[in-house]
Amino acid sequence: MNNTIEKTIGELVAEDYRTAQVFKNHKIDFCCKGNRTLSEVVTKKGITLENLLEDLQAVQNSEKTDQPDFKTWPLDLLIDYIEKKHHRYVEQQIPVLKQYLTKLCKVHGARHPELHQISEHFHASAGELAMHMKKEELVLFPWIRKMLHGSSDLKSDGKAPSETVRTPIKVMMQEHDNEGERFRKIAELSQDYTPPSDACNTYRVTFSLLKEFEDDLHRHIHLENNILFPNAELLETRLN
């Protein structure tokens, strides 16, 4: 138990992704703000450390499912997974959700003006995520792959904006924070993706897809912030 207290939230989720649900239940950000310890968050959330530890222990002691142990994966395999699983998902779902949200605003926007705000936030997020993923795919991920082959310098390729991988990582983490905040606003505006009593099927499907998109984004950010980025920094340190 003491070992659990000493670890950050991100480390706990990296070791056992099932604990992410415990943090979600308590509305604790495990991806963008995974560098905090349990004692740092309980006071702000108005819960006791004992209750949170009990919930975590219950999950950790339950029968394990076939969850991949991402922290043991080679970094190039993890990058491939992030690109093929999460980046492609975002690219595929953005046009679908834009279409649904546009339709909802037209049909239900007068009775539910919050839909216009939700749509505005999502459209902003869609644009930022598209640019964010391109920066990862064209700059940061190739940099990490090159380090895996024994070099910490990409300047000869004309792709690296600085001499240390920590610089683009810091930018990516700040952008993760921005998108995490946008989706916190979307969740608040949608009452945690709860359709109103007069919601049609399209309304319900849209909110369900938004919730799925947020869940995928949380896992996506977690894999980068709490596993890929720290290990890339360690790799660079070893190379230097």
The pLDDT value recorded for residue 161 is 46
* Residue 111 DSSP SS3: coil
Rounded Cα distance, 15 and 226, in Å: 10
Model-level pTM? 0.84
159-216 confidence digits (pLDDT tens)? 444 479 999 999 999 999 999 999 999 999 999 999 999 999 999 999 999 999 999 9
**How does residue 154 score in pLDDT terms, banded at 50, 70 and 90?**
low
The pLDDT value recorded for residue 148 is 93
169 closest CA partner among 114, 118, 235: 235
Structure tokens given for 181: 């905040």
109 closest CA partner among 184, 208, 189, 185: 189
35-54 confidence digits (pLDDT tens)? 888 888 887 777 888 888 88
142 closest CA partner among 159, 129, 162, 158: 159
Rounded Cα distance, 238 and 231, in Å: 10
The pLDDT value recorded for residue 59 is 84
Rounded Cα distance, 165 and 224, in Å: 13
The pLDDT value recorded for residue 158 is 45
54-91 confidence digits (pLDDT tens)? 888 888 888 776 778 899 999 999 999 999 999 999 99
Delimit the domains of the chain by residue range.
2-61, 71-239
The pLDDT value recorded for residue 151 is 65
Distance between start and end Cα atoms, the chain: 36
Domain covering 2-61 in this structure, CATH number = 1.10.3910
218-237 confidence digits (pLDDT tens)? 999 999 999 999 999 999 99
pLDDT higher at 185 or 6: 185
